[in-house]
Structure 1
Amino acid sequence: MSAAEAADGAGPGRGAPDRAEPDRGEPIEDFRTLGAKLRNWGRWGADDERGTTNLITPERLIAAGRLIRQGKIFDLGIPLDGNGPQTGAFRINPVHLMSATGAEQPFPSGFRYADDYLFLPLQAGSQWDALAHVFYDDQLYNGFPAGAVTVAGAGRCSIDGQAAGIAGRAVLLDIAALHGVEWLAAGTAITPDDLDAARRRQGGVAVGPGDILLVRTGWRRKFLQERDPAAFMAGEPGLGQACCAWLRERDVAAVGCDNWALEVLPFEPGGVFMGIHMVLIRDMGMTLGEMLDLEALAADCEADGVWEFFLSAPPLKVTGGVGSPVNPLAIK
């Protein structure tokens, strides 16, 4: 099944029993109009290729370090193996091959070694979208020409521009728990009201300038329980378009989710395919994280009532890459 089919709600998994039926809501604003209102082009200079991660200032990073109080580490990355959620129609799951096992090696000292390879789309598992990943009307973030992306890679806004690291204060908002379900249904659009209600439920935790926001829909739990890649990819709950302005108003530095495309699919009435990607990445310059495993972290936050933590999530330094695998660590 293709991504386009998923956006239209076709493919395996549609109509299967799920948690919480979605409210399709009212038609939304044209994404180009919204993007023009929220645009960050030129905010950090005409040559900027980092976008909203510029909001993670040294002062905010130092303050974020003070959130480490218990020494607990939560690994938010999903395994890079053949058991992931990719169906092969759009992307494949990672393929791990051994190139040496030590068998029949000739070293006289008794020394032996093992070596291996990993073949994968850079966005096959937990990953960051680079600012070159999505564009429209022949322009990338900050007005760079879309032609800067060629078969040789991204000459502008590539993921290695974020290689100094995406790290800082992060906040988890658990929308599935807010609604009392294991996971939200595909097509459920998360609204600003949901985000604010989750904050209130979670002790009024603040989301502000330079923060990294993580949003739990329960979609990872769905996959772990069902082990059905087709159902996982057939659609998803996710951010609705109105959340773009909510993120911009709070100067959030980056946003990540436990689904495969961050935004709600099928898209909202009046919306377009990947319209939220286009506003967040191309217009706002926001780096997006997808397919995160938030289950253990959410359970711990629920238990101790602490929903803020230090997050370290640097991408791989892939020259010209438009995305990167990531193994984010939440540290409390």
Structure 2
Amino acid sequence: MADKIPKFSDLPLDKNGPHHNAWGLYGKDDELGTLNRLSNSIVKSAASEIKTGTRINIDWPLDAQGDLPFFGRQQFHKEVYQKPPRIVNDDVWTFNTQSSSQWDGLRHFGYQKEEKFYNGVTLDHIHGTNGVEKSNVNGIGAWADQGICGRGILLDYHEWRLKQGRPHSAFEAGHISADDLKAVAKDQGTEIKFGDILIIRSGYMAAYNALSRAEIEKMRAKTPLTFTGIEQSDEMMEFLWTSFSAAGGDHPSLEAWPTQKEYALHEVLLAGWGMPIGELFDLEKLGEHCKRVGRWSFFLVSKPVNVPGGVASPPNGVAIF
């Protein structure tokens, strides 16, 4: 199936659209983007990764950031209440879908200069402004039908760079190169297959968990916020385009933040290709297990919440070995 997608050098597909776009590859009304790569045959083949039945959660708790989420997002609130006279409880949750583990959907981040989302959708289509009818186009609910399920691979950059003795600061705008990620895969003996769901352990969670509240408050007050993540480069885009159906990691922006170039990877991945971006995944237990068993591939089951027109969703993700 890899030979059925255009080469990276063929992008942009829509020559009248923004840089590196793949608009129209799966039709003008497509809302799945690179999730189209998760064909039945690829998912069936990925099921061979299940050998022991061991299951590992990759969701951070919804309230993990408490009242100090980054990017000014609202904190998680939970209200549990009894329904007297019965001995019965209900609860109400109120939260920003991006204040903990999340998949960024196709409504989240558009091309900034062109003001366009995946397949040319505009803010008017989303908000129903300027005489355009409001719709649910590109909503996260479109991903709920089949979920994000397939072969997941963990590239444990954090473990690899520790072995290399390489410095790393999670809260500076450093970058992880495509060559770095390829070196991690080689060191782990992890084969990359077309349609894989890429998960990167950058070391953010380990660094965050070591911070005091005062240190988090100081980091949160920075303008702009700064994080080490994957680099903005043709090499990184080609690496992602060539093989993966989705890409996620353990920190707030996946890519180096703020962007080191005149564009952000969020623009190309979400608005250009329709590739889900995963952020704030809790990969500590997963990394420990992979290291212990010597295998960094698994079957990943993730079920975005079925909210028509939603912007993002908790992943509800489980890695199965």
TM-score normalised to the size of structure 2?
0.83
Task: Give, in angstroms, the shift of residue 258 of structure 1.
Answer: 0.3
Spell out, residue by residue over 1:254-278, the C-alpha distance to the aligned partner (whole angstroms, 9 max, x if none).
Answer: 000100111112332x435xx1100
SS in 2 for 1:300: helix
Return the letter of the residue paired with 1:280. L
Q: Give 2:246's aligned residue.
A: 254
Spell out, residue by residue over 1:158-199, the C-alpha distance to the aligned partner (whole angstroms, 9 max, x if none).
Answer: 100100201110000011112117964322211110111001
Matches within 5 A, 1:226-245: 226-228=211-213, 229-230=216-217, 233=220, 234-242=225-233, 243-245=236-238
* Aligned residue among 149, 154, 167 for 1:172: 154
Q: Give 1:263's aligned residue.
A: 255
> Partners in 2 of 1:298 and 1:241 — Cα distance?
25
Spell out, residue by residue over 1:189-248, the C-alpha distance to the aligned partner (whole angstroms, 9 max, x if none).
Answer: 111101110011101x12232110000111011122215444665421111112222101
Matches within 5 A, 1:308-323: 308-323=297-312
Q: Give 2:122's aligned residue.
A: 145
SS in 2 for 1:179: helix
Q: Note if 1:188 corresponds to 2:174.
A: yes
SS in 2 for 1:236: coil
> Partners in 2 of 1:84 and 1:182 — Cα distance?
29
Return the letter of the residue paired with 2:241. R
Return the letter of the residue paired with 1:247. L
Return the letter of the residue paired with 2:143. Q
Return the letter of the residue paired with 2:318. L
Q: Note if 1:300 corresponds to 2:281.
A: no
8 Å Cα contact 1:256/1:289 also seen in 2: yes
Call closer, same or farther: CA 1:94–1:51 in 2, change over 3 Å: same
Task: Give, in angstroms, the shift of residue 97 of structure 1.
Answer: 1.1
> Partners in 1 of 2:64 and 2:157 — Cα distance?
29
Q: Note if 1:155 corresponds to 2:154.
A: no
Identity %: 32
> Partners in 2 of 1:277 and 1:294 — Cα distance?
21
**What is the aligned residue count?**
287
> Partners in 2 of 1:209 and 1:217 — Cα distance?
22
CA RMSD in angstroms comes to 2.3
8 Å Cα contact 1:135/1:146 also seen in 2: no
Return the letter of the residue paired with 2:92. Y
Q: Give 1:58's aligned residue.
A: 40
Return the letter of the residue paired with 2:262. G
* Aligned residue among 278, 282, 293 for 2:271: 282
TM-score normalised to the size of structure 1?
0.80
Q: Give 1:39's aligned residue.
A: 21
Q: Give 2:98's aligned residue.
A: 123
Task: Give, in angstroms, the shift of residue 77 of structure 1.
Answer: 0.5
Return the letter of the residue paired with 2:91. D
